[in-house]
Copies of this chain bind each other. A is one copy, B any other.
């Protein structure tokens, strides 16, 4: 009654177009500040289409957030796919910071997270899933490092992944609030420093 799945190709295309634009606008202005009319205008769709496929605003938001997470995650997957050593990871993260400096803003996922966590259960679950996937990506990096004999066998890839992710998210939040990338850089460096703790013994080149 309220909402229904598209039953024809045409319908599916329409629904997709709406979700795509919604995801874009959510990425740009955040969830709260994204207006339905705005989405519809951008998608060249009408109110009836929207309410034909979605029960209400929350359901559209859920879909849009899900879509956005998929996109960001695709990027992240590509970024971390080939990372298999500590140095590669350090370089990758440095690139991350550099990108941030060029165009500061919160974390694409983190911002959604806090906006949605207490207000839209469906969307929250999507974001939680995105965090889980990201974490998995990092854990895989650590497992590769371990397979390569660089990471100690007793180190937990999952725990390290959680810790690194937290440092990144926290660093991004601090930097976003301060409008200064320094915090992010420090947080990431610290996370790498902690990771070093779990590497197999290595001559320590005099810490600055």
A171 — which chain B residues lie within 8 A by C-beta? 166, 170
A side interface size, CB within 8 A: 49
- A5 at interface by CB-CB < 8 Å: no
State whether B167 touches A187 (Cβ < 8 A): yes
Of A13-21, A72-80, A173-181, which binds chain B? A173-181
Distance, CA A158 to CA B159, complexed state (A): 25
A111 to B116, CA, bound (A): 11
A139 contacts chain B at the CB level, 8 A cutoff: no
In the complex, the chain B residue whose C-beta lies closest to that of A194 is: B194
Least CB distance from A112 to B in Å reads 9
Q: Chain A residues in contact with chain B, CB under 8 A?
A: 30, 32-33, 105-106, 110-111, 113-115, 117-119, 124, 127-128, 131, 154, 159-160, 162-163, 165-171, 173-174, 176-179, 182-184, 186-187, 189-191, 193-194, 196-197, 207-208
Residues of B within 8 A of A113 (CB): 173, 176-177
* Min distance, Cβ A22 to any Cβ of chain B, angstroms: 18
Q: Report whether B162 and A131 are in contact in the complex, using a CB–CB cutoff of 8 Å.
A: no
Contact B166 A187, beta carbon cutoff 8 Å = yes
Partner of A173, one of B32, B110, B194: B110
Q: Which residues of B contact A118 (CB under 8 A)?
A: 30, 105-106, 176
* Cβ-defined contact, A167 with B163, below 8 A: yes
**Known A166-B187, A194-B190; contact A174-B131, beta-carbon cutoff 8 A:** yes
